[in-house]
Amino acid sequence: MNKAMLAPSMMCADFLHLEEQLRLFEREGIDLLHVDIMDGHFVPNITLGTDFVRMLKKATSIPLDIHLMVERPENLLPAIAFGEGDYVSVHYESTVHLQRVLAAIRERGAKPLLALNPGTPVSMAEEVLGDIDGLLVMTVNPGFAGQKLVPSALEKIARARLYLDAYGMNESVIEVDGNVSIPNGIAMRAAGADIFVAGTSGVFIGDDMAGNIRHFRRQVFGE
């Protein structure tokens, strides 16, 4: 089993206290910052953008986990500040040149992940397995925080793990995004998930964020 990592979802952050929250994440040894970029077309919402990513890059050394929910991500890629140590996810349906986009991400030293909507089969990864460092299994339909888990998602995580392992890709990660609460997280970890995106279900609840993080790691990661 790969190391479990926690990635707070920055679209759920309190933007009036961003600096404070970043320092707290640093103190708590947060592994990754999940950054949702939406274009209002691929998903029916608009969230964070290229300037926000640039600002985060300057403000903290925590690696980024950039989730592109945009049509034709190849057009946006040059404007996004990422590099060595960062993850960048691209949705299967978002581009007709999937392999080229994933290769361009790797070219910049980052780790490309293929993002799969709840309705997208794991087997769609087949032809780009050599171009990815893992899969982002969406556990809700992307676009909004605060949604309910799609029930088939847990089995899909387990199938994704088996699928990658069957190709000898044991070190490739499985990321889960959407309604990653503590109880869901426990089931997701048992199914083989490694990177846990925590939004309004996991970390951004109430005002004791450090407590939430510790509690999540204890319960879900067994730390």
* 208 a catalytic residue: no
Least distance in angstroms from the C-beta of 67 to Zn ion: 4
Binding site for Zn ion (CB under 5 A): 36, 67, 177
Residues 6+ apart with CB under 8 A from 211: none
Nearer to ligand DX5, 101 or 140 (CB): 140
In whole angstroms, give the CA distance from residue 107 to residue 105.
Answer: 5
- φ/ψ of 134, rounded to 5, equals 155, -175
Select from 76-84, 120-128, 186-194, 200-208 the region that touches ligand DX5 (CB under 6 A): 200-208
In whole angstroms, give the CA distance from residue 12 to residue 149.
Answer: 17
Question: Which residue of 73, 134, 143, 192 would you call a contact of ligand DX5, by CB under 6 A?
Answer: 143
Q: Which of 65, 86, 177, 194 is catalytic?
A: 177
- 94 contact choice in Zn ion, ligand DX5, none (CB below 5 to 8 Å, kind-dependent): none
Least distance in angstroms from the C-beta of 48 to Zn ion: 10
Q: How many residues does the chain have?
A: 223
Question: Which residue of 146, 162, 208, 214 would you call a contact of ligand DX5, by CB under 6 A?
Answer: 146
- 219 contact choice in ligand DX5, Zn ion, none (CB below 5 to 8 Å, kind-dependent): none
* 177 a catalytic residue: yes
Least distance in angstroms from the C-beta of 136 to Zn ion: 8
Question: Which residue of 36, 39, 86, 175 would you call a contact of ligand DX5, by CB under 6 A?
Answer: 36
Least distance in angstroms from the C-beta of 65 to ligand DX5: 10
Q: Which of 36, 39, 133, 194 is catalytic?
A: 36
In whole angstroms, give the CA distance from residue 52 to residue 61.
Answer: 15
> Taking CB under 6 A as the rule, does residue 156 contact ligand DX5?
no
Select from 17-25, 102-110, 120-128, 195-203 the region that touches ligand DX5 (CB under 6 A): 195-203
> Taking CB under 6 A as the rule, does residue 194 contact ligand DX5?
no
Nearer to Zn ion, 11 or 98 (CB): 11
In whole angstroms, give the CA distance from residue 29 to residue 18.
Answer: 16
Residue/partner pairs of 55-59 with CB below 8 Å, 24 or more apart:
56/10, 56/22, 57/81, 57/82, 59/19, 59/22
The terminus-to-terminus CA distance of the chain in angstroms comes to: 14
Catalytic residues: 36, 177
